[in-house]
Structure 1
């Protein structure tokens, strides 16, 4: 990997750092992200039971705040992905090797599942096993994921290392409020939502449709980024 790539956001500062450390940071970050999102949903549903319209804005702000802080805190170690879509698109773009990609994605998925389960245990609420739009949510997740990946990779290609985390957080607030699925836009979050409780929880019938929409959205974003930000430097 060239030094030019290392200076951008969503790439680790030191690719020579042991893979277990970098993948571990991805697992911990994803766990905390899903735990925060799920726990905030449970708390908001209780606090605003009389005003349910406030639950979604609260979740959007908590999710964005958690993600920005985690990217800033752990980004230098792993790149701060916490999302298999980011890691996978980097692999497709030739920015990350296959072994590293598999390790990152595995850590993210495990972290997401543990985060969703952990929030339910902390709040002592049983997982609902319901929620989501099923196949009607494919297009919504495609749009949400395409928008998120476009922001991520446009910031990376623009080398806006310091502003990238905040741009992603801002988009998430917009995406959560603007899409009917509330913008999961992350296969690890979907996996965590299957064992979560509260507003974040998803039923098994929504997982596959959401994943399909998310992958399709990531591919659309990769095409757009390739057209808008042609690479002029080789990546080793």
Structure 2
């Protein structure tokens, strides 16, 4: 994206890859910790008002994501989601080595974030959730919508508004989709080892991940069709 400032790209791609990948891992850890921890907290606080759990969790997740993108995004791009990194690679905006490093850091961060929330809150994990294969469509729609907003913000070049646009959409995405919009392979991995409302049954992992991948590809096609390529007239 030379010559055109954009969100979700690092300010200095010459910065050592280990530094950039470390930020992706730390950011993903913090995001998944906030997501799963807020779910546990909401379930306890609103034990008699279960309808409040989802909106409270949605706001907490979006707030954490906006804060992390604003605080750390200039170092790594602030993805914290393998879908973003992989679509940038697919679009020729990121090389293979960087992509592998980012995705590995994100997945490790997600796993540790989910485990950390479980350890901090303690107690039994309770029944695992997830819709199984019927949830594939929900994750497809959730991921397509999220990636469309993310990459639309990239193409707009409005660097300051991007994180807030993504956070705002995420609140709606979580509430509006039947799976509560995991829309992130690192979150799915963390959800497998955590407790509380985001705790995901292993049987739901494959359909959720497949739905996310398909949704990301749908968004990629839409972005390539609706938006000019970077640097194009």
Same fold (TM over 0.5): yes
Q: What SS is found at the alignment partner of 1:182? A: coil
Q: CA deviation at 1:126?
A: 3.8
Q: CA deviation at 1:130?
A: 1.5
Tell me the distance in 2 between the aligned counterparts of 1:127 and 1:55: 16
Q: Which residue of 2 aligns with 1:71?
A: 69
Q: Which residue of 2 aligns with 1:187?
A: 185
Tell me the distance in 1 between the aligned counterparts of 2:60 and 2:16: 31
Q: Which residue of 2 aligns with 1:19?
A: 17
Q: Which residue of 1 aligns with 2:85?
A: 87
The structure 1 segments of at least 4 consecutive aligned residues displaced by more than 4 Å after TM superposition are none
Count, aligned residues: 232
Tell me the distance in 2 between the aligned counterparts of 1:198 and 1:204: 15
Contact 1:129–1:204 (CA under 8 A) maintained in structure 2: no
Tell me the distance in 2 between the aligned counterparts of 1:146 and 1:193: 20
Shift of the 21–232 alpha-carbon distance from structure 1 to 2, 3 Å rule, reads closer
Q: Which residue of 1 aligns with 2:231?
A: 233
182, 197, 222: which one pairs with 2:195? 197
Structure 1: segments with no counterpart, 5+ residues: none
Q: What SS is found at the alignment partner of 2:197? A: helix
Contact 2:6–2:154 (CA under 8 A) maintained in structure 1: yes
Q: CA deviation at 1:124?
A: 1.0
Tell me the distance in 2 between the aligned counterparts of 1:196 and 1:232: 39
Structure 2: segments with no counterpart, 5+ residues: none
Q: Does 1:136 align with 2:130?
A: no
Tell me the distance in 1 between the aligned counterparts of 2:123 and 2:11: 39
